[in-house]
Amino acid sequence: MYHENAENQKVCENLVHEISMLESELLNAKNAETMDKTESLTELSAKVTKDEDTIKHLSHEIEKWSEILQEKKSSNVAREKKLVDLKSLRNSKEAAAAEMLRASRNKDPQFEELCKWYTEVNSLLYKLNGIHQVRNISNAEFEIEYEYESQVVATLSLKVNPDADAQFKRLVNAKVIFGLVYMID
């Protein structure tokens, strides 16, 4: 029995040792798992923080691009309105051009010849009288520019009463202005 007790004691000691080893392994495994979980929580927390930063950055980018999109939409609306206005203007100009084309096909050739003759005669009379140029300043004032000598120009400025009867407009003021014209060869 002593042997049995000694053997039983040895078996018990072995079992206690194995149990203690298993407890130690189990404790080590739990510690390792806790460490892994702690590391995983730290890693996950860092990843969440990084993802939050990324989300903030992307939110700012979305806001920025949304503003740009709004500006582009507003710009496009303005451009579309301008395009409609320009199309309307083009249509009216095309209609006016078509009307002018029809009128030019129907014009009187004698009238054109008379206009050409009048312009040429008027130019000849200006030259014969020494008139270089006639300018309308307003409906009540005009200037006649005479070529006095090769380098001197005399301008006659005439003012009339615009309120008078068209047939009897009266001269209100007149003055002569001399100026030098420098010719560059």
Closest CA to 163 of 139, 136, 134: 139
- Confidence (pLDDT) at 87: 93
- Confidence (pLDDT) at 88: 92
- Quick check: is 118 in a domain? no
Q: Which domain holds residue 161?
A: 129-180
- Confidence (pLDDT) at 166: 64
**Cβ 157 vs Cβ 174: under 8 Å:** yes
One domain for residues 26 and 100:
yes
- Quick check: is 163 in a domain? yes
Last residue of a domain, one of 106, 138, 164: 106
One domain for residues 1 and 80:
yes
For each successive 10 residues of the chain (185 residues), what is the average pLDDT?
Answer: 66 79 80 67 80 88 90 89 92 91 78 86 82 82 77 77 70 72 51
One domain for residues 138 and 69:
no
One domain for residues 96 and 176:
no
d(CA 92, CA 84): 12
- Confidence (pLDDT) at 85: 92
